[in-house]
Amino acid sequence: MNYAGKVVVITGAAGGLGRALSKQFLAAGAHVALLDMNGPALRTTADSLLFTAPGRVLAITCDVSDAEDCQHAIATVIAHWGGIDVLVNNAGIAHRSLLCETDLAVLRQVMNVNFFGAVHCTQLALRSLRARRGQIVVISSIAGFSPLFGRTAYSASKHALHGFFDSLRSEVEDDGVDVTIVCPAFIATGIERAALGGDGGAATLPRNAIGGEVSADDMATRILTAVCRRQRLYLPTSLAKLAWWTSRLVPAYFAQQMKRRSAPSPR
């Protein structure tokens, strides 16, 4: 797949995996629109990328949980470059807290960003993606197909992405639009450091990165290869593959091992 001259929209692009994906698509010759709600960080990222890709970077401040923000952002990209070839739904937030200790507002916030943020951008970009036989890339997680202790809202938002985009694929594949769902395990980004706690403040429940973390740049390289191949589901690491098959073949064993490794020690 040749991305030279293609228009790529990436949400959550100011840092972490979003920034790494932006670098990969720019290196492949694409025009990249960076969307993020963190204006200062977005401008810093855009300025750094413009040095290597002048004229091919567009930065738009956008809160994906706000449908009007998304409408403005998608319309701006189409007006600026004429259409959208690839939409990467990457924006997300994490939380770590037991459900019995979690405010309903936190659950709604996680769903609004992780799920409805992707829904907003996809629905608004869909006409252009259909016209250009484009691609939709969804950054999910191993939490999108398996349980995860202390992450009820996060896991629910990722499971919802699978149901939504697997169903959407059946509606758009005959129009030449491909949907790739990516399920990483643990990536070294800032999302976990900013994870919400049950009251909306900083998370206090410990995080255990089973099997270590992959760098954002390494993960972005792997994802671009999968997107080029137009894979339907991409499990980028051996841990992700192990989680996929174990959670399906022996779900009770998977849940037992996951709790043993992820739950905090009894006090």
Q: Torsions phi, psi of 195, nearest 5?
A: -60, 140
Q: How many helices (H) and strands (E) does the chain have?
A: 9, 9
Q: What residues contact 65, with CB distance under 8 A and at least 6 apart?
A: 109, 112, 113, 116, 117, 120
> What is the spatial distance between Cα 224 and Cα 259, in angstroms, rounded to a whole number?
32
> What is the spatial distance between Cα 171 and Cα 59, in angstroms, rounded to a whole number?
30
In the three-class reduction of DSSP (H, G, I as helix; E, B as strand; rest coil), residue 163 is classed as helix
Which listed residue (3, 154, 234, 253) is catalytic?
154
Q: Is 3 a catalytic residue?
A: no
Q: Torsions phi, psi of 53, nearest 5?
A: -140, 65
Residue 182 near residue 142, CB atoms below 8 Å: no
H or E segment at 3?
none
**Active site positions, annotated:** 154
